[in-house]
A and B are shown apart, each in its own frame.
Chain A
Amino acid sequence: MPQPTARSVEIVIRNDMAELATLRDGLERIGAELGVPGKPLMQLQVALDEIASNVIKYGWPDGGNHKLCVRISGQQDRIEVEIVDDGREFDPRQAPPSEPQPAGRRQPGGLGIHLIKQLVDRLEYKRVGGRNRTVMTKQYVSDRRSS
């Protein structure tokens, strides 16, 4: 049976932290279908949680019901995750690095973004038509040998 070499899914969630589980499960399913090894998949899971939770927390200061659209596209050597939201403009590439602080006194605001930059191979951002479009790309070497 031929192994799948590409998979794509689009998931729309509300701006509610509980909905992040849907994203996590979607990414896990695609990772399993493509044979993405544990480490790169885990690293992308962390990065996705960081970026999406950031949007939910800070995107809409006035609250209300909003949606995030997440497209996960997997190919045989990389997974691309695109997050589109109409929250306030936020370019994660411009976020200040988290400053090292004495133990227990750390201000962890920028920590998530600091992690994302190390966890993914590419982080792109564009403000298009009043929306944030953030794309993270993670490369991997598949568990499955091509035949």
Chain B
Amino acid sequence: MSNSALSIEQAHSGVVRIVALKGRVDSTSANDVLACLSNLISEGEKAILVDLGGLLYLTSAAFRVLLVATDQAERGAARFALCNVIGHVRELFEMGGLLDAFTIHGSREEAVAQLS
């Protein structure tokens, strides 16, 4: 159970690199997400989309990581956005007052169109 708590899947859609998170992002797994995103930014990816549609929940450790990645992307002149922020996960963003801290699109298709 513990080992499959989070899966990170990557895909491309045109120039957009998509990172789909599935499961939970908490204190034990948040750094895996940061490592992945930092890596993409330092490799020079210019459009990164994090799809949260498969998440069960995320904790403040995850929010911290997404905020750090937002900063890193800004410094690397990369566009960074989230999509499928829905259900329980959206409520957590609302509770944290964090909906305005990120660029958030609806569906993956919509996000790809905006980032392309």
Contact = CB atoms under 8 A, between A and B. Distances in A.
Interface of A: 17-18, 20-22, 24-25, 28, 38-39, 42-43, 45-46, 49-50, 52-53, 56, 98, 100, 103-104, 106, 108, 111-112, 114-115, 118-119
B26 interface: yes
Contact of A111 (B27, B56, B96): B96
B34 to A, nearest CB: 13
A29 to B, nearest CB: 9
B59 interface: yes
Interface residues of B, number: 28
**What are the 4 tightest A-B residue pairs by CB atom distance, in nearest-first order?**
A21-B2, A53-B27, A112-B60, A111-B60
A100 B101 CA distance: 10
Interface in B14-67: 24, 26-28, 56-61, 63-64, 67
Given A39-B88, A106-B67, A20 B27 contact: yes
